[in-house]
């Protein structure tokens, strides 16, 4: 099958206009030895054959539509109202490009501006950009901003070990060619590490301290003294946040954050095996001119009507080239639109409600699981919707047992934290009914036998 519209007659007319005989004549600049190579690829399919093949591949996966899903660790199964997808399927949005030409892109531009405004409201920051690739790359870009703010006089970044391991890894990947020292996350076991432990790493070379809120194990920590120590040392404090938790808990702005980054996936974006997601990035006013990536500003058109446009362009790679601090030239436009529609639909009360239901059901689940013989949950810590469970058997065995009962169990923490052998990270959202939680508890009890 093909989406090429040409007829034979048209092809001939076009070739004649160009002044050649065949399409092949157009490729003479390619060395003949390498021209028109053999392609060892499958034959083309009709749409119905392709659809059937894709359907079969999709059905070969165990997923949150068929299973009770209790896995989070940075990606969460929340309810997505139908209207979100209906807006995303407007091809005026999804088949448009980056809004370089504002006069024919006001739809995209205004939606991004509204998204930025909502993200400011959620995070308590003054400015948000149009997004980065995901939460992890947002953190990597935060490191870049902090280095720039220090005018590259400082090169030390302190990471709380409770930041998602993939995020810390991505930040290290991004900065492997720069002279940056990452400290703070190599020492104590994560379950015992506290924010205060990080204070000793902060010195006059520290450009930024980063923490996660709630942390990777779901806990809400008190960062008060750490924020103070960071600011006293002249460094920036960056919060990596779950935006859904911000519907309930104090905003990072209120807690003193300078930069707030995180994964926007919980805001109306499907799990989709890890992407596309949405890296949000918000800062205080004084750093707005240092952020990489697109940012949309309000302005006027020549007749004085309100209009929107990508602004602060001179910082960008297409103008500053080798002087740009980042090469990012897109955002996750459609995912920012999804979050914007989702937050509009949920609104002030709905979002808080989603967070409350998730909180309550997670606490119910934690309490019930902690009662099962052989399992242990530290219920004394404040947490949002995720918690670590010490299990009586290897997690792979338990999860195998759960799958057979229609449940996708928690994430095995040992993969990222060797000291957390036999620990699983359980996430609960509004998608998990009481019945599902009771089923999980029952199955866990059985699995222990």
Partner 1 sequence: MTEPLIYEISSPGRTAVALPDVGVPEVELPKELLRKDLDLPEVSELQVMRHFVNLSHMNHSIDSGIYPLGSCTMKYNPKINEDVARLPGFANLHPLNDEAGSQGALALMYHLQSWLAELSGFEAASIVPAAGAQGEFAGILMIRAYHLDRGDHKRTKILVPDSAHGTNPATVSMAGLQAVELPSDKNGDVDLNALRAALDDTVAGMMITVPSTLGVFDTKIRDVVRMVHEAGGLMYMDGANMNALMGIVKPGELGFDVMHYNLHKTFSTPHGGGGPGCGAVGVNEKLVDFLPGPIAEIVEEAGEEEDAPLYGLKMPVKSIGRLKAFQGNFGMHVRAYTYIRIYGGEGLRDVSRHAVLNANYVRAKLRGVYPMPVDRICGHEFVMSGHVEGVEGIHALDISKRLMDFGIHPPTNYFPLIVPEALLIEPTETEDKATLDNFIDVMKTIAQEAKDDPELLHSAPHTTPVGRVDEVRAAKQLVVCCRPIPDYEPQRTPSGD
What residues from 167 to 226 belong to the interface with partner 1 (CB under 8 A)? 167, 169-170, 172-174, 176-179, 204, 220
**Only segment of 155-163, 190-198, 229-237, 441-449 that touches partner 1 (CB under 8 A):** 229-237
Question: CB 266 → partner 1: shortest distance, Å?
Answer: 13
Of 212, 215, 331, 385, which lies in the binding site for partner 1, with binding defined by CB under 8 A? 331
Closer of 173 and 421 to partner 1 (Cβ): 173
- Is residue 26 part of the contact set for partner 1 (CB under 8 A)? yes
The phi, psi pair for 245, rounded to 5°, reads -65, -30
The phi, psi pair for 182, rounded to 5°, reads -100, 125
Distance CA 94, CA 133 (A): 17
Residue 32 per-residue DSSP state: G
Distance CA 260, CA 120 (A): 10
Closer of 188 and 300 to partner 1 (Cβ): 300
Closer of 324 and 445 to partner 1 (Cβ): 324
- Is residue 21 part of the contact set for partner 1 (CB under 8 A)? no
Question: CB 373 → partner 1: shortest distance, Å?
Answer: 21
- Is residue 114 part of the contact set for partner 1 (CB under 8 A)? yes
- Taking each helix axis from N to C end, the angle separating 434-448 and 333-371, rounded to the nearest 10 degrees, works out to 50
- Is residue 5 part of the contact set for partner 1 (CB under 8 A)? yes
The 3-state DSSP class for residue 83 equals helix
Of 106, 172, 117, 449, residue with least CA distance to 308: 106
291-310: which residues touch partner 1 (CB under 8 A)? 294-303, 305-309
Closer of 135 and 218 to partner 1 (Cβ): 135
Sign of CA dihedral 257, 261, 265, 269: positive
Asked if residue 436 lies in contact with residue 98, where contact means CB atoms within 8 angstroms, the answer is no
Closer of 107 and 392 to partner 1 (Cβ): 107
Of 83, 187, 225, 393, which lies in the binding site for partner 1, with binding defined by CB under 8 A? 83
Question: CB 402 → partner 1: shortest distance, Å?
Answer: 10
Closer of 188 and 204 to partner 1 (Cβ): 204
The pattern of x and - marking residues 389 through 418 that bind partner 1 according to CB under 8 A reads ----------x---x----x--x-------
- Is residue 353 part of the contact set for partner 1 (CB under 8 A)? yes
Closer of 184 and 333 to partner 1 (Cβ): 333
# residues near partner 1 by CB under 8 A: 224
- Is residue 354 part of the contact set for partner 1 (CB under 8 A)? yes
Distance CA 236, CA 157 (A): 10
Of 361, 372, 398, 407, which lies in the binding site for partner 1, with binding defined by CB under 8 A? 361
Residues whose CB falls within 8 Å of the CB of residue 29, separated by 6 or more in sequence, listed in order: none
Antiparallel, parallel or unpaired: β 156-159 and 181-183: parallel
Distance CA 143, CA 292 (A): 11
Of 263, 276, 268, residue with least CA distance to 83: 268
Closer of 39 and 188 to partner 1 (Cβ): 39
Asked if residue 169 lies in contact with residue 316, where contact means CB atoms within 8 angstroms, the answer is no
Question: CB 318 → partner 1: shortest distance, Å?
Answer: 4
The pattern of x and - marking residues 417 through 436 that bind partner 1 according to CB under 8 A reads -------------x--xx--
Question: CB 399 → partner 1: shortest distance, Å?
Answer: 6
**Hey, how many other C-beta atoms are within 10 angstroms of the C-beta on 41?**
6
- Is residue 356 part of the contact set for partner 1 (CB under 8 A)? yes
Structure tokens at 167: 């995020």
- Is residue 330 part of the contact set for partner 1 (CB under 8 A)? yes
Distance CA 245, CA 431 (A): 16
Distance CA 385, CA 246 (A): 12
The phi, psi pair for 218, rounded to 5°, reads 95, -10
- Is residue 128 part of the contact set for partner 1 (CB under 8 A)? yes
Asked if residue 424 lies in contact with residue 410, where contact means CB atoms within 8 angstroms, the answer is yes
The phi, psi pair for 391, rounded to 5°, reads -110, 160
Question: CB 423 → partner 1: shortest distance, Å?
Answer: 14
Question: CB 115 → partner 1: shortest distance, Å?
Answer: 10
């Amino acid at each position: 099958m093909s989406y090429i519209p040409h007829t034979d007659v048209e092809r001939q007319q076009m070739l004649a206009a160009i002044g050649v005989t065949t399409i092949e004549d157009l490729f003479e600049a390619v060395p003949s030895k390498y021209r028109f190579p053999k392609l060892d690829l499958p034959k083309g399919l009709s749409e119905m054959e392709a659809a059937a093949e894709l359907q079969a591949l999709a059905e070969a996966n165990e997923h949150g539509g068929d299973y009770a899903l209790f896995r989070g660790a940075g990606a969460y199964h929340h309810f997505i109202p139908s209207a979100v997808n209906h807006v995303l399927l407007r091809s005026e949005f999804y088949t448009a490009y980056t809004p370089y030409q504002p006069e024919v892109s006001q739809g995209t531009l205004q939606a991004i501006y509204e998204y930025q405004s909502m993200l400011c409201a959620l995070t308590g920051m003054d400015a948000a950009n149009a997004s980065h690739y995901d939460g992890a790359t947002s953190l990597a870009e935060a490191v870049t901003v902090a280095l720039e703010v220090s005018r590259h006089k400082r090169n030390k970044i302190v990471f709380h070990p409770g930041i998602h391991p993939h995020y810390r890894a991505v930040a290290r990947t991004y900065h492997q060619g720069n002279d940056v020292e990452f400290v703070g996350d190599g020492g104590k076991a994560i379950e015992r590490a506290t924010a205060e432990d990080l204070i000793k790493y902060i010195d006059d070379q520290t450009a930024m301290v980063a923490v996660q809120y709630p942390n990777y194990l779901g806990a809400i920590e008190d960062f008060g003294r750490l924020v103070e120590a960071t600011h006293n040392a002249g460094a920036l404090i960056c919060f990596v946040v779950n935006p859904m938790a911000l519907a309930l808990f104090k905003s990072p702005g209120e807690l003193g954050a300078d930069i707030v980054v995180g994964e926007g996936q919980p805001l109306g974006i499907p799990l989709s095996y890890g992407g596309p997601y949405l890296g949000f990035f918000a800062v205080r006013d004084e750093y707005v001119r240092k952020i990489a990536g697109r940012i949309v500003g309000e302005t006027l058109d020549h007749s004085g009507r309100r209009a929107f446009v990508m602004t602060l362009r001179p910082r960008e790679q297409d103008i500053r080239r080798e002087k740009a601090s980042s090469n990012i030239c897109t955002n996750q436009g459609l995912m920012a639109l999804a979050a914007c529609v989702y937050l509009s639909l949920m609104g002030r009360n709905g979002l808080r409600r989603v967070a409350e239901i998730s909180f309550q059901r997670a606490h119910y689940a934690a309490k019930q699981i902690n009662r099962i013989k052989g399992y242990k949950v530290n219920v004394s810590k404040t947490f949002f919707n995720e918690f670590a469970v010490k299990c009586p058997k290897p997690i792979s065995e338990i999860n195998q047992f759960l799958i057979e009962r229609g449940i996708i169990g928690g994430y095995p923490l040992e993969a990222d934290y060797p000291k957390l052998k036999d620990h699983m990270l359980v996430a609960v959202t509004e998608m998990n009914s009481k019945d599902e939680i009771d089923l999980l508890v029952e199955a866990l009890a059985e699995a222990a036998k």
